[in-house]
């Protein structure tokens, strides 16, 4: 029996959240909701010229995430045991805080708040954590051209924003932080089983739980 019905799995760029979501959903007949980041036409330009394209790329993500989530919620399959997604709507605010200047962020936050209050909250929020060296290695390995401009500082800033988010929302839903720096859940079945058990078959009573592997 699964402990949660609406599960979010997030993490920094290159941590493997989408891969893990796909494996869990396929094995357990779950509704799979993936972020369609590749459809954002401004993303490659943003990585090259972040100051110029930051507001445009964040507003495009905001609109896309809202449209996708709303459509998926309306199309819920009653025969699926749970929903699993590789992003949460709050992600929009986390990344925007790092990429926008203060004036742009205040304007952006007004649009965000209008939408966010109407969105459903997850039953379990999972954050996959890996150190920056591992993230940079993963980013290089998967070879997306527009990601090769990402710096260690940018990844550290995103990580910091996530941890601030956890402090602010620790009473909103259970937060599970999984330190997977030393795991290879793609090729190692034992590593995958550890994460599977932690995410699907374990109940958490504390606002924030952190597990190391």
Annotated binding site for ATP: 11-19, 183-185
Q: Is 6 left (phi over 0), alpha (psi -120 to 50) or beta?
A: beta
Q: Compute CA distances 135 → 85, 120, 147, 159, 177, whole Å.
A: 20, 30, 11, 11, 16
| Three-class DSSP category at 84 | strand
In the set 81, 123, 157, 179, the catalytic residue is 81
* Cα–Cα distance for residue pair 176/170, rounded to 1 Å: 10
Which residues, 6+ apart, have CB-to-CB distance to 151 below 8 Å? none
CB 28 within 8 A of CB 81: yes
Q: Is 102 designated active site?
A: no
* Cα–Cα distance for residue pair 143/1, rounded to 1 Å: 38
Q: Which two tokens stand for residue 21?
A: 């979501």
Q: Which two tokens stand for residue 191?
A: 């590593």
Active site residues: 81
């Amino acid at each position: 029996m699964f402990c949660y019905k609406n599960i979010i799995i997030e993490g920094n760029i290159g941590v493997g959240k989408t891969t893990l979501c796909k494996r869990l959903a396929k094995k357990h007949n779950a509704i799979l909701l993936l972020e369609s980041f590749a459809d954002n036409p401004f993303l490659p330009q943003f990585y090259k010229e972040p100051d110029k394209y930051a507001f445009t790329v964040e507003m495009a993500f905001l609109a896309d995430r809202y449209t996708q989530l709303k459509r998926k919620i309306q199309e819920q399959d009653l025969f699926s045991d749970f929903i699993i997604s590789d992003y949460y709507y709050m992600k929009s605010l986390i990344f925007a805080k790092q990429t926008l200047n203060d004036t742009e962020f205040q304007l952006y936050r007004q649009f965000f708040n209008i939408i966010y209050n109407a969105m459903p909250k997850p039953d379990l929020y999972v954050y996959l954590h890996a150190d920056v060296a591992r993230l940079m290695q993963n980013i290089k390995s998967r070879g997306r051209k527009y990601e090769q401009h990402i710096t260690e500082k940018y990844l550290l800033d995103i990580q910091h924003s996530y941890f601030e988010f956890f402090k602010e929302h620790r009473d909103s839903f259970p937060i599970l932080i999984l330190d997977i720096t030393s795991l290879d859940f793609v090729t190692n079945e034992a590593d995958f089983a550890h994460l599977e058990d932690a995410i699907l078959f374990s109940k958490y009573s504390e606002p924030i739980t952190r597990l190391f592997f």
